[in-house]
Amino acid sequence: MQKGKRVIGMFMAAVMMLPVMAQHVEFGAKVGLNTTKFTLSKDLISKTNQTGFFIGPTVKIGLPVVGLGLDAAVLYDQRDAKLDDTKVSQRSINIPVHLRYSVGLGKMASIYAFAGPQIGFNVGNKNFSLNSFDYQLKSSNLSVNLGLGVTLFKHFELGANYNVACGKTGEATLRSVGSSVTTALKTNNNAWQILAAYYF
């Protein structure tokens, strides 16, 4: 637990240091769609193509190296899945920070690649029951984004990325007659994401 708090503290400190490195700063808004794969306990239960969305403010920071920059956002993220007639909903505030590299295609467009960590804080219901399991989502989680995009007319961006969860996203308790056993069942909540952003 203490290690997790230190990682979160270092992450937030890095976010606050971003303006110090800035050569050019643009603020905007980002919105997108999730297509989530939710797997519990080594494919005991697996559902794909469950949709969700995310939305929130974003900032883009140019660095002294040509083509190199950073972007960060604070996003409300909703991911839903229906597992054996039980609806599982994850509501999070996610903070992604990406290193990005852009290549110009002329005055009107450029393409960019980006990658970086994302920390999420669970703001929804953390508990649900499924068959013989009681499941609890973690209060915070770390993931990584990898993606590509295109910038149009200097202000509008379209992109796609894969969000990979780092480690388990929760803990399951197996109920039995007269007792219960807490197990470290492997869980995944990875997602393909399509995004649009507008910078002012």
Going along the chain from its start, the domains and CATH numbers come out as 2-199 (2.40.160.20)
What are residue 167's phi and psi, to 5 degrees?
85, -175
Give the Cα separation of 70 and 15 in Å (integer): 10
What are residue 13's phi and psi, to 5 degrees?
-65, -40
**pTM more than 0.85:** no
Q: What is the pLDDT of residues 39-67, one digit of tens each?
A: 555 444 555 557 789 999 999 998 888 89
pLDDT < 70 positions in the chain: 1-23, 37-49, 82-86, 130-133, 169-188
Q: What is the pLDDT of residues 154-165, one digit of tens each?
A: 899 999 999 998
Q: What is the pLDDT of residues 87-99, one digit of tens each?
A: 777 889 999 999 9
DSSP string covering 107-144, please?
SSEEEEEEEEEEEEEE-S--EEEETTEEEEE-SEEEEE
What is the gyration radius of the CA atoms in the chain, in angstroms?
A: 19
Question: Minimal CA–CA distance to 117: which of 2, 8, 19?
Answer: 8
